[in-house]
């Protein structure tokens, strides 16, 4: 009976791991300054800004296409080329090399076992990085089996996009926006689309306001 219970628990944990992997979010901090005119058919062109976008290329074109979709959905129209556009949109983005984060906490063996009152939901010692969705959850290599304090280390990356919209010809500022996030991935094809969506959530926003916006990550685009 005990073996059956353990097997069922392991199966449930494995299924939950799969669900958890699909439910990750990007928590972004978004700051916007806006003098955007109401959409009346103005045209725009997206050009490379600072950071990893500076050299342009196919990667930049993919993210510029996402920005263009967001602006088109709000009533602005893509221009044939930057010279004929009413507005020039500068998109910059980047991600750092990451920092190792280390945390430690007591194992169940040192706090009376796991389960009700020990390890699990409702326990003051429950640590979400080793809860449902963790590769160590209920695994035979789980450090919690050994009755000593456990250490969790991971790499945290900081990513950022900058979006600047200027009136073509006069260079008058119409919009300045920045979205920043921390995540455990440095994949641009994961973080940049999410940060673009964050900066356009409630666009153009209240000028001068910084807000926190949570965006579910999406599978990387193919092709």
**56 pLDDT higher than 70:** yes
**pLDDT 10s digits, 196-223:** 999 999 999 999 999 999 988 766 555 4
Q: What is the pLDDT of residue 188?
A: 93
CA distances from residue 94 to 33, 51, 130, 210, 212 in whole angstroms, order as listed: 21, 6, 29, 20, 19
Which tokens go with 2? 């005990």
pLDDT of residue 217: 76
pLDDT tens string 80-127 = 989 999 999 999 999 988 788 777 656 555 544 444 334 343 444 333
| Mean pLDDT value across the chain | 76
User: Whole-model pTM?
Assistant: 0.67
pLDDT bin (cut points 50, 70, 90) of residue 154 is confident
Tell me what pLDDT residue 101 has: 79
Question: What ranges do the domains of the chain cover?
Answer: 27-98+156-204
The answer to whether 29 touches 180, Cβ cutoff 8 Å, is yes
Q: Which CATH number fits domain 27-98+156-204: 3.30.160.670, 3.30.420.10, 3.40.50.720, 2.60.40.10?
A: 3.30.160.670
User: 3-class SS at 150?
Assistant: strand
Kindly report the backbone phi and psi dihedral angles of residue 47, in degrees, each rounded to the nearest multiple of 5, phi listed first: -125, 160
Mean pLDDT value of segment 164-174: 96
What pLDDT shows up at residue 131? 39
pLDDT tens digits along 136-151: 333 334 444 445 556 6
Q: How far apart are CA 214 and CA 216, in angstroms?
A: 7
């Amino acid at each position: 009976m005990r073996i059956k219970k353990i097997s069922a628990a392991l199966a449930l944990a494995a299924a939950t791991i799969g669900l958890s992997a699909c439910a990750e979010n990007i928590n972004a901090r978004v700051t916007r300054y806006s003098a955007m005119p109401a959409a009346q058919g103005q045209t725009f062109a997206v050009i490379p800004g600072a950071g990893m976008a500076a050299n342009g290329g196919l990667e930049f074109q993919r993210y510029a296409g996402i920005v263009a979709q967001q602006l088109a959905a709000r009533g602005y129209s893509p221009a044939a080329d930057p010279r004929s556009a009413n507005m020039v949109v500068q998109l910059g983005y980047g991600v750092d090399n990451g920092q190792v984060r280390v945390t430690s906490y007591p194992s169940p063996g040192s706090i009376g076992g796991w389960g009700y009152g020990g390890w699990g939901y409702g326990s003051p010692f429950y640590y979400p990085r080793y809860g449902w969705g963790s590769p160590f959850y209920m695994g035979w290599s789980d450090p919690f089996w050994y009755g000593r304090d456990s250490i969790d280390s991971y790499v945290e990356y900081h990513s950022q996009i900058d979006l600047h919209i200027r009136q073509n010809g006069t260079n008058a500022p119409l919009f300045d926006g920045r979205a920043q996030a921390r995540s455990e991935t440095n994949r641009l094809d994961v973080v940049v689309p999410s940060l673009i969506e964050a900066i356009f959530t409630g666009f153009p926003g209240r000028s001068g306001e910084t807000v926190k916006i949570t965006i579910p990550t999406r599978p990387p685009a193919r092709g």
